[in-house]
A and B are shown apart, each in its own frame.
Chain A
Amino acid sequence: MAPTGELKNQLKQMIVERLFLNIAPEDMADDASLMDTYGIDSVNLFEIVVGLEDEFGISLEDEDFSVETFATINSIAALVDRKRAEEQ
């Protein structure tokens, strides 16, 4: 099942808030590259990882770390969905 729009909105809210981005969450595109479009770097990605664990109740393992997984809102939402399903 594809990630819901609500989950993606929550992710955008978390990312904008934690990274102090100067954009509205709803203006983030689901499939835009976080690195190329929003200038997300390794420090920002770390904040996102901590945010995923703190706010989305998932626990990431080594094998979850790949550029593709953290490329876009869509790919991160898919990760959250998958981890939630695994951890149930």
Chain B
Amino acid sequence: MNCEQQAVRLGRGELHGIYYEPPPDTEASGAAIICDPFAEEKKCAQRTLAETARMLAGTGIAALHFDYRGTGDSSGDFADFGPRQWQEDIQAAIEFVHTQLEVSPVGLLGLRLGASLAAQVAEQNATIAWLVLWEPIIDGHQFVRNNLRRSLIKAMLTQGGEFSAPQVTNRHQAELIDLDGYQISAPTQAELAQIDLSGPKTFSQPVLVVNIAARAQVTNETQTLTDSYNRGQAQAVVLEPFWNRIGIIDGEPLLRMTQQWLQQIV
């Protein structure tokens, strides 16, 4: 897919993004904003999300892939920002696409925490035309618990006889938590734990919720989330959790499924 890509600054200049423009001979179908996952997951998913942006542009959907404040090439330190500010960043990206790039309609495509943030923003922003939620974090408490699990397991394997589970757990209750080198403040940890996508929704545009796992089977949680939307559709794709893998994972099945769904709705 032969698309133009250029670096852009948005949101009062503090946000860095890459804008993928569809080839001139492609019928334009609005834009997508790609919403990144959290911390190390963002790094692991970078390649697949860049491929996603190129896929979108190749099918006529311009794509903006940007860094939240405190991440990537955007300004600020990671520890100073959290879900609330990152929702503001997504709103700023929507505004940028509408007003600076003059492209519409705009949809949101998010992975993991990015999917959860996208879903929350969609409840507040009536201009969003569609949502694609890849493996969203539905239960923030569970997400925080799993982050602790990762730390426990990593410490268990690296500290040998020095390993103490209570010590690791205590560190996760500190004011500033170190998660794989990412400094997370206690308020951010609390905000993450409060994420709960299980309730009723007001967003009335098309929504695709995708499970990405070892089985092509939609989980009960995903089906419940999907059913909370008027126009939700759940799908499952067999694919390694690329946001947890350092090596290269071919995301083609996920991209193809998403592309087919988008072609039906835009």
The answer for the CA separation of A76 and B143 in the assembled complex, in Å, is 23
Interface residues of A in 1-59 (CB under 8 A from B): 17-18, 20, 35, 41-43, 45-47, 49-50
A88 at the interface (CB under 8 A from B): no
Determine which residue in A41, A43, A60, A63 has the highest number of CB atoms from chain B within 10 A of its CB, and name it. A43
Report B-chain residues with C-beta under 8 Å of the C-beta of A42.
150, 153-154, 156-158
Of the four ranges (under 10, 10 to 19, 20 to 34, 35 or more), the interface on chain B belongs to: 20 to 34
Report A-chain residues with C-beta under 8 Å of the C-beta of B157.
35, 41-42, 45, 67
B84 at the interface (CB under 8 A from A): no
Report A-chain residues with C-beta under 8 Å of the C-beta of B165.
62-63, 65
The answer for the CA separation of A60 and B154 in the assembled complex, in Å, is 16
Q: Is the CB of B169 within 8 A of A45?
A: no
Decide yes or no: A49 and B153 within 8 Å by CB, A17-B214, A43-B244 being known contacts: yes
The answer for the CA separation of A46 and B180 in the assembled complex, in Å, is 14
Report A-chain residues with C-beta under 8 Å of the C-beta of B160.
67
Write the residues of chain B forming the contact surface with A, with a CB cutoff of 8 angstroms: 146, 149-150, 152-154, 156-158, 160, 163, 165-166, 168-169, 213-215, 240-241, 244-245
* Besides the known contacts A18-B214, A43-B245, A47-B244, 11 further A-B residue pairs in the complex with CB atoms under 8 A apart: A35-B157, A42-B153, A42-B156, A42-B158, A45-B153, A46-B244, A62-B166, A63-B165, A65-B153, A65-B156, A66-B163
Write the residues of chain A forming the contact surface with B, with a CB cutoff of 8 angstroms: 17-18, 20, 35, 41-43, 45-47, 49-50, 60, 62-63, 65-67, 70
> 10 closest Cβ contacts across the A-B interface?
A62-B165, A17-B214, A42-B154, A45-B153, A42-B153, A65-B152, A18-B214, A65-B165, A42-B157, A20-B240
